[in-house]
Amino acid sequence: MALLLAAVALGFAASARADQREEERWVSDVHAPEIAGIEENPLKGMVPYRNGMRRSFPHSMEWFYVPLRELQKGDDEFDWEPIERQLEEIAGRGNHAVFRVYLDYPGKPVGTPQYLIDRGVPMRSYTDAGNDNVASKSPDWNDHRLIEALENFIRHFGKKYDGDPRIGFLTAGLYGFWGEWHNYPHDPKWEMKAENRDRLLIAYRQAFTKTQVLLRNPTGTTNLDLKTSFGYHDDSFAYETLAPEWGFVPRLRENGLLEIWKEKAIGGEIRPELQATIFDAWPNVPVKAGSRRSEDLSECIEATHASWMLNEDIFAGPLTEARNKNALRAQRRLGYEFQVTASSISRDEKGKLRVKVKIRNAGVAPFYYRWAAEFAAYDPQTRETRILGQATNWNMPEILPDGREYQRVFIAPKAENLRGQRLIVRLKNPLKDGKPLRFANGRQDKDCAGWLTLQEIPD
Total residue count of the chain as it appears in this document: 459
Nearest-angstrom CA–CA distance, 413 and 351: 10
Name, in order, each residue with C-beta under 8 angstroms of 384's C-beta and a sequence gap of 6 or more.
378
Residue type, 80: W
Specify the pLDDT at position 24: 64
Nearest-angstrom CA–CA distance, 380 and 13: 38
Specify the pLDDT at position 191: 97
Nearest-angstrom CA–CA distance, 66 and 64: 7
Specify the pLDDT at position 10: 45
> Domains of the chain (ranges plus CATH)?
38-333 (3.20.20), 337-456 (2.60.40)
Name, in order, each residue with C-beta under 8 angstroms of 209's C-beta and a sequence gap of 6 or more.
162, 163
Nearest-angstrom CA–CA distance, 111 and 68: 6
Q: Which runs of E-coded beta strand occur in 238-284? A: 266-270
Distances (CA, A) of 206 to 7, 75, 155, 161, 202: 64, 19, 8, 13, 6
Among the listed residues 313, 422, 396, the one whose alpha carbon sits nearest the alpha carbon of residue 43: 396
Name, in order, each residue with C-beta under 8 angstroms of 309's C-beta and a sequence gap of 6 or more.
45, 46, 47, 237, 267, 268, 269, 270, 330, 334
Among the listed residues 32, 50, 82, the one whose alpha carbon sits nearest the alpha carbon of residue 168: 50
Nearest-angstrom CA–CA distance, 65 and 105: 10
Nearest-angstrom CA–CA distance, 165 and 435: 12
Helix axes 297-304, 321-333, angle to 10 degrees: 10
Strands 61-67 and 96-104: parallel
pLDDT by residue, tens only, the chain of 459 residues: 444 444 444 444 444 444 444 456 899 999 999 999 999 999 999 999 998 777 889 999 999 999 999 999 999 999 999 999 999 999 999 999 999 999 999 999 999 999 999 999 999 999 998 898 779 999 999 999 999 999 999 999 999 999 999 999 999 999 999 999 999 999 999 999 999 999 999 999 999 999 999 999 999 999 999 999 999 999 999 999 999 999 999 999 999 999 999 999 999 999 999 998 999 999 998 887 777 789 999 999 999 999 999 999 999 888 999 999 999 999 999 999 999 999 999 988 887 899 999 999 999 999 999 999 999 999 999 999 999 999 999 999 999 999 999 999 999 987 788 889 999 999 999 999 999 999 999 999 999 999 999 999 987
Helix axes 194-207, 144-161, angle to 10 degrees: 20
**Cis link prior to 430 (omega < 30° from 0)?**
no
Count of CB atoms within 10 A of residue 431's CB?
21
Task: Judge whether 136 and 125 are in contact, CB under 8 Å.
Answer: no
